């Protein structure tokens, strides 16, 4: 894959984006809501799950919000709220699966935090069951059930296998087949991020033509240790990342505060709502707020 800087240069020459809107979340005064999901339907309501957090710390929880209008959502007080970061959702066997990142004391150094990805079945908004806990130290673990019933699993190892973070891939037949050993043994995709960058998957799509497409992110540190995060899409072709392209950047969104100075240029991919020719990208902005951006459907054009 080209580097993030190279992909960004190409993106700026080719991408076309429309207007952006800030999303307001009622019922969480004095808290920020960011790193949200795209809207989804459950129990007759249009919902968003979002990371809720004070500006001055990273002690967060995930809450459910119901739609008031296209850019206003209201906290559902009766819903279960989990001590997680960066929620995501998918449906498997007709059941809503909520995922998120749990932080906990590092077993090797109690002055630091480690993390892992948890999956829950949402039976009802106030009845949530933990069904799987991923490997320690792994974020960006994602699932997608295909129309044939198989489940794609995208992983994000770091360290000796994945460096700062690369995407691995496997398929399973059912959630009962998911194990930590299979996740840790999943081979890396070809065409992955270079060693100076890192990235991961955020949402997986099975397109009408049967192709598998992914919304993810690519990121790097600059010379002053500032973080730069960009929404990325690509096609999954056999065991290869194909046609990757950056679809947006921070400058495409409205001005808004950042959690810290090193997080100003951060767009966290939440999800896409896809239309025939257009799409809406839902994203966390600078670790402090959430917005959506209108753009061309990134899977309707030949990629880069």
pLDDT of residue 112: 87
Burial class of residue 147 (count of CB atoms within 10 Å of its CB; 0-12, 13-18, 19+): exposed
What span, in angstroms and rounded, lies between the C-alpha atoms of 75 and 66? 7
What span, in angstroms and rounded, lies between the C-alpha atoms of 88 and 278? 22
Residue pair 79/125 in contact (Cβ under 8 Å)? The answer is: yes
What span, in angstroms and rounded, lies between the C-alpha atoms of 33 and 54? 9
Indicate the domain borders of the chain. 4-296
Assigned token pair, 208 = 């009408």
Assigned token pair, 20 = 């952006």
Per-residue exposure over 57-70, b if at least 16 CB sit within 10 Å of its own CB, e if not:
eeebbbbbbbeeee
Note down pLDDT in tens along the chain; length 304 residues: 999 999 999 999 999 999 999 999 999 999 999 999 999 999 999 999 999 999 999 899 999 999 999 999 999 999 999 999 999 999 999 999 999 999 998 888 888 889 999 999 999 999 999 999 999 999 999 999 999 999 999 999 999 999 999 999 999 999 999 999 999 999 999 999 999 999 999 999 999 999 999 999 999 999 999 999 999 999 999 999 999 999 999 999 999 999 999 999 999 999 999 999 999 999 999 999 999 999 999 998 644 3
pLDDT of residue 304: 39
What span, in angstroms and rounded, lies between the C-alpha atoms of 200 and 58? 21
pLDDT of residue 301: 60
Site of tokens 């994203």: 283
**Longest pairwise C-alpha distance within the chain:** 50
What span, in angstroms and rounded, lies between the C-alpha atoms of 151 and 13? 36
Residue pair 34/285 in contact (Cβ under 8 Å)? The answer is: yes
Listed residue (43, 53, 55) closest to 86, CA to CA: 53
pLDDT of residue 156: 99
Q: Any idea what the Cα angle at residue 84 is, between residues 81 and 87, rounded to 5°? A: 90
What span, in angstroms and rounded, lies between the C-alpha atoms of 301 and 277? 9
The fourth-level CATH superfamily of domain 4-296 is Glycosyl hydrolase domain; family 43 (2.115.10.20)
Indicate yes or no: pTM above 0.85.
yes
């Amino acid at each position: 894959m080209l580097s993030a800087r190279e992909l960004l240069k190409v993106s700026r020459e080719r991408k076309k984006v429309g207007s952006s809107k800030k999303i307001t979340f009622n019922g969480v005064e004095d808290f920020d809501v960011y790193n949200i999901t795209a809207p989804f339907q459950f129990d007759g309501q249009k919902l968003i799950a979002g990371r809720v957090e004070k500006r001055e710390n990273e002690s967060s929880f995930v809450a459910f919000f119901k739609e008031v209008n296209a850019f206003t959502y209201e906290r559902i007080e009766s819903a279960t709220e989990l001590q997680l970061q960066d929620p995501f959702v998918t449906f498997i066997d007709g059941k809503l699966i909520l995922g998120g990142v749990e932080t906990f004391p590092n077993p090797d150094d109690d002055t630091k935090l480690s993390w892992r990805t948890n999956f829950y079945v949402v039976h009802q908004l106030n009845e949530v069951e933990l069904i799987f806990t991923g490997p320690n130290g792994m974020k960006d673990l994602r699932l997608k059930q295909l129309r044939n019933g198989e489940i794609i699993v995208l992983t994000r190892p770091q360290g000796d296998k994945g460096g700062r973070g690369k995407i691995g891939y496997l398929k399973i037949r059912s959630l009962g087949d998911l194990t930590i050993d299979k996740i840790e043994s999943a081979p890396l995709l070809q065409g992955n991020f270079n060693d100076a960058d890192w990235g991961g998957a955020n949402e997986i799509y099975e397109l009408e033509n049967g192709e598998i497409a992914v919304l993810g992110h690519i990121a790097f540190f600059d010379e002053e240790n500032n973080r730069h995060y960009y929404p990325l899409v690509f096609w999954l072709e056999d065991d290869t990342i194909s046609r990757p392209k950056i679809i947006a950047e921070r400058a495409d969104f409205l001005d808004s505060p950042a959690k810290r100075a090193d997080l100003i240029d951060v767009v966290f991919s939440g999800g896409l709502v896809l239309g025939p020719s257009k799409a809406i990208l839902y994203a966390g902005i600078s670790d402090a707020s959430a917005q959506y951006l209108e753009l061309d459907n990134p899977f309707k054009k030949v990629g880069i």
